[in-house]
Structure 1
Amino acid sequence: MYKKITLALFVIMMIVLSSCAYRRNLPPDETPAPRQQSTPAEDVPKEDRLAKPQGEAVEENINGFNLEDDLRITENTQEEEENRISYLNQQQKTEVLQEIGSKKMNTVLQEYSTTLPETINDAIQYFQYDISFDYFLVTAEEGAEILENPAPDATVVAQVESLEKLSLLQRVEGEALEDSSIWYRVGFEDDNGVGEGYLHATTGVPRNFRFDRMEEAINQLRQQVAQGDLHFVSNYKNQNGAPPQKGDAAVDAYGYRVYHSAPAYQQADTNSEFRYIPDGMLVRIIEETEEFYHIDVPTFGGDYYIPKQYIDPDVTLSRLEHVVVVDRDQQNQASFELGEDELHLVSYTLSTTGIPGDFSFETTLGSYKVIEKRDRFEYLESGTQDIAGYAPFAVRFTGGAYIHGVPVAYEKEDGEKIDPGLIEYLHTIGTFPRSNMCVRNFTSHAEFLHNWINVENGAVIVIE
């Protein structure tokens, strides 16, 4: 028997807000790490600051849940390494789809055959996790049995652990189980080679790489850049002045946080209504007054007035070469290189975004400028000024939010912090939001992205 992962069942019910942001329920019995009370760097006592090598920074806690939970889940899963099954790559999945025929009791409702759109060229340079474009995320707490036919009493062909991803082939109608007759046909690979079978709809959720939506978002940004240079809001750690705050909430009605943001007024008057525009968000200057820039904010679909200290008029995005699109609904992402009237897919991978709630912040929607790259940055233990660990190969795009590799918690030995070394993989990546604003990648992909992306002509787009 397989050893089961002692992980509480993830609840995937989504509650849509009246704005662009929505909330996902937290997994039962799990609580995110307490939200770090943000403190501008200049307000941190000098004795609490540590000398850092060039290229490093210190951010608030980047983990929505305790990192130890992710490491425990990963370790428990890897203990069954000999028995684990894995997903198919895109080529294997396509071959299985071509070979499978109808089976008894198999009424196909949908075939999952996502391919790269003809308008996107295959120029993939990263192959570490070659997952198929359509896949199935197992969410059942105790894992699931893959059956030969879509029926509860069918023969078991394989067993899969919780949070595993399998290649998604078909959605079918079979025998009812728990008031549902929907099953998913999945493909996998194990020691016996390539196999396929059925999982009931209650055991997980379908996911895919939505290249069409990614392309649409890129083309919109491409058109905006073609109309003239774009600027971006600059208020990292409130370095250009803390914006006014409405009440005690850390975020506004749209999910954008107060810290790292600038006020966007309805009129050229600080007494008028305003909302927050986060650091890094791309905007266009329409005109200026003595105190304000009149700006168009493509992400918001409207124009606002922003005090001049929050935009550097000399720093622009005038040419779009590299774009990373993060899909926070599907928990995956893809990287693209733009040529003249061409779009090249450079990499696609699983990712984990920020979880919204009282203890952490979600990764906010919108188009952002790539602001800087860091080999690594350190993060604080929640509620303190103590360094807890670091994140490698980081690309910052808004406030203290980065695309980065697996976080590394420092170990302590005789009162000294010890770096245990890079961690490549977490089993929770590509499952549900678990970070605090940041976008977590496998470390090898974060390194690839860090080396590849052009800061001057790069952008990050977060879609739903």
Structure 2
Amino acid sequence: MYKKIMLILMVVIMATASSCTYRRSVPPNETPTPQQQQQQQQPAPSSEAPREDKLAKTDRENIEENINGFDLEDDLRITENTHDGEESGISSLSQEQKEQVLENIGEKSTNTVLHQYDTFLPETITDAVQYLAYNLSFDYFLITTEDGAEVRESPLPEAAVIAQVESLDKVSLLQRAEGEEIEGSNIWYRVALENDNQVAEGYLHSTTGTPRTFQFDKMEEAVNQLRQQIAEGELHFISNYKNENGTPPQEGDAAVDEHGYRVYHSAPAYEEANVEAEFRYIPDGMLVRILDETEDFYHIHAPTFDGNYYVPKQYIDPDVTLSQLNHVIVVDRDQQNQASFEVDENGLNLISYTLATTGIPGDFSFETTLGSYKAIAKRERFEYLQSGTQEIAGYAPFAIRFTGGAYIHGVPVAYEEEDGEKIDPGLIEYLHTIGTSPRSNMCVRNFTSHAEFLYNWMDNENGAVIVIE
């Protein structure tokens, strides 16, 4: 049922918008967006990014590929048309407010409760949240219908309307309940939201959206696994940003291997200490452990893949390690949210939690790949190219690079032109599409204020980024 809801969500959002560079066939039920149609008229880029290689080396070090999976103009348009362009369309209560509502929640005669959404922080995670720009409960409901939805007093289609929510709004999620059947489903969700500075509580039918949650248990498990790996000895990481340490071998013209990992920015991981052996790709930034070495290879263990491989020595710097873990950002690409944690001897401190947008696999974009990565570098801003050209399209602010050309960063800014000159229109704080569905190209898009918070907070030397689902 959940997968079916997610499929509906993707179709709805892709129907209202258009598509950071991966080549695949367009699914038979997916119409190429205007951006894709324009790109498809040009020769498909190879995994070696030849257009970027034509730039001067100094330029290439400061410029990335297009970081937008969908046309950024569509995200801006959706944002402008929602809530009359207000800064935030997050109608969710804070976690504290939601807990109060749950404590006082009453039964309705038409309400048969199937599940109560009461996610709390595990006892081993301390609430030390420092970023408070957006109210958001740990369980929330994402509105996916194009025309929004009406929150009703009870789970009946003729019940009184108590609030109107718009497409891609997020409201607090309280319960899953039975109600009157609509379109073959009798499932309704009991929700709470801020409405005219008052807390309103009512029902949305299951066809209007999808439930989301912060999977703190999974996040904690991922961080603790990495902590244990470091406790067993220092970790190294693959280093091949923009193929700077050598172009990996490639079979055929696919831009990714069978596991979805990209050729570009990666190292070949051989099953034997022999370049003629079978191999897969391990991406730039992914954490590995050196077990042994031969003259030409490091014998490594890749915890993300739980496998041992041989990697040519040029792809690992033996002098740069992750031997202590202080800061971790965990990105959940399934729920389209993320949290950051400070690690100490007593456990984890939750520093921030918020919405995020990850990469979408498409004709000219890549998904954000799963795994544990070193926090490699911070850049106050980096510029990116317009797809299929060498023209600089814009920049992304407050960026933390963790694999290849993929960063956690703020809302992208497209340059404007005036008298043939590129003009910076200034930072953009909010996009209504953040936290809805994958829309980026490998990167993890944040609200700009949160990206700036992470940029100032992250300890790169002792920090990591983990992508889960």
Q: CA offsets per residue over residues 124-150 of structure 1, 9 Å max, x none? A: 110001200000000011111111110
- Find the aligned partners of 1:9 and 1:127 in 2 and give their Cα distance: 30
The equivalent residue for 1:9 is: 12
- Sequence identity (%): 70
- Residue 65, structure 1, aligned to residue 70, structure 2: yes
- Find the aligned partners of 2:235 and 2:199 in 1 and give their Cα distance: 49
- Find the aligned partners of 2:374 and 2:244 in 1 and give their Cα distance: 18
1:30 positional shift: 3.8
Letter of the structure 2 residue corresponding to residue 370 of structure 1? A
- Residue 388, structure 1, aligned to residue 398, structure 2: no
Q: 1:140 aligns with which of 141, 145, 148?
A: 145
Alignment of 1:308-319 (within 5 A): 308-319=313-324
- Residue 44, structure 1, aligned to residue 47, structure 2: no
1:32 positional shift: 5.7
- Find the aligned partners of 2:120 and 2:161 in 1 and give their Cα distance: 30
State the superposition RMSD in angstroms: 2.3
Where 1:10 maps in the other structure, the secondary structure is helix
Q: CA offsets per residue over residues 362-388 of structure 1, 9 Å max, x none? A: 000000000000000000000111100
Aligned 8 A contact 2:331 2:468 in 1: yes
The equivalent residue for 1:436 is: 441
1:113 positional shift: 0.6
Q: 1:322 aligns with which of 318, 322, 327?
A: 327
Aligned 8 A contact 1:231 1:312 in 2: yes
The equivalent residue for 1:16 is: none
Cα distance, 1:24–1:279 mapped onto 2, change above 3 Å: farther
Letter of the structure 1 residue corresponding to residue 286 of structure 2? M
1:440 positional shift: 0.1
Q: 1:184 aligns with which of 179, 184, 189?
A: 189
The equivalent residue for 1:271 is: 276
- Find the aligned partners of 1:335 and 1:218 in 2 and give their Cα distance: 10
- Find the aligned partners of 1:153 and 1:308 in 2 and give their Cα distance: 68
Q: CA offsets per residue over residues 255-276 of structure 1, 9 Å max, x none? A: 1000000000000001010000
The equivalent residue for 2:346 is: 341
Q: 1:104 aligns with which of 91, 95, 109?
A: 109
Aligned 8 A contact 1:84 1:190 in 2: no
Aligned 8 A contact 1:394 1:404 in 2: yes
1:122 positional shift: 0.6
Cα distance, 1:139–1:27 mapped onto 2, change above 3 Å: farther
The equivalent residue for 2:125 is: 120
Where 1:202 maps in the other structure, the secondary structure is helix
Q: 1:74 aligns with which of 76, 79, 84?
A: 79
Cα distance, 1:155–1:297 mapped onto 2, change above 3 Å: same
Aligned 8 A contact 2:52 2:390 in 1: no
- Find the aligned partners of 2:32 and 2:145 in 1 and give their Cα distance: 15
Alignment of 1:160-309 (within 5 A): 160-191=165-196, 193-309=198-314
Cα distance, 1:354–1:304 mapped onto 2, change above 3 Å: same
- Find the aligned partners of 1:393 and 1:45 in 2 and give their Cα distance: 24
- Residue 95, structure 1, aligned to residue 104, structure 2: no
Aligned 8 A contact 2:89 2:169 in 1: no
Letter of the structure 1 residue corresponding to residue 204 of structure 2? L
Cα distance, 1:261–1:32 mapped onto 2, change above 3 Å: farther
Letter of the structure 2 residue corresponding to residue 178 of structure 1? E
The equivalent residue for 2:358 is: 353
Where 1:116 maps in the other structure, the secondary structure is coil
Aligned 8 A contact 1:84 1:160 in 2: no
- Residue 364, structure 1, aligned to residue 369, structure 2: yes
Structure 1 gap segments, 5+ residues each: 1-6, 13-22
Letter of the structure 1 residue corresponding to residue 53 of structure 2? D
Cα distance, 1:348–1:84 mapped onto 2, change above 3 Å: closer
Where 1:216 maps in the other structure, the secondary structure is helix
TM-score normalized by the length of structure 1: 0.91
Q: CA offsets per residue over residues 400-428 of structure 1, 9 Å max, x none? A: 00000000000000000000000000000
Q: Judge which range, 73-82 or 240-249, deviates more.
A: 73-82
Cα distance, 1:166–1:356 mapped onto 2, change above 3 Å: same
Aligned 8 A contact 1:31 1:65 in 2: no
Cα distance, 1:150–1:40 mapped onto 2, change above 3 Å: same
Where 2:311 maps in the other structure, the secondary structure is strand
Letter of the structure 1 residue corresponding to residue 117 of structure 2? Y
Cα distance, 1:8–1:262 mapped onto 2, change above 3 Å: closer
Cα distance, 1:370–1:85 mapped onto 2, change above 3 Å: closer
1:153 positional shift: 1.1
Aligned 8 A contact 2:152 2:204 in 1: yes
Aligned 8 A contact 2:90 2:134 in 1: no
1:227 positional shift: 0.3
Cα distance, 1:25–1:342 mapped onto 2, change above 3 Å: farther
Aligned 8 A contact 2:90 2:136 in 1: no
- Find the aligned partners of 2:375 and 2:313 in 1 and give their Cα distance: 21
The equivalent residue for 2:425 is: 420
- Find the aligned partners of 2:28 and 2:220 in 1 and give their Cα distance: 29
Aligned 8 A contact 1:144 1:199 in 2: yes
- Find the aligned partners of 1:227 and 1:216 in 2 and give their Cα distance: 17
Structure 2 gap segments, 5+ residues each: 1-9, 16-25
Where 1:101 maps in the other structure, the secondary structure is coil
Q: Going by fraction, where is helix more abundant, 1 or 2?
A: 2
1:389 positional shift: 0.1
Where 1:360 maps in the other structure, the secondary structure is coil
Cα distance, 1:245–1:29 mapped onto 2, change above 3 Å: closer
1:57 positional shift: 1.6
1:341 positional shift: 3.3
- Find the aligned partners of 2:27 and 2:370 in 1 and give their Cα distance: 15
1:358 positional shift: 1.8
TM-score normalized by the length of structure 2: 0.90
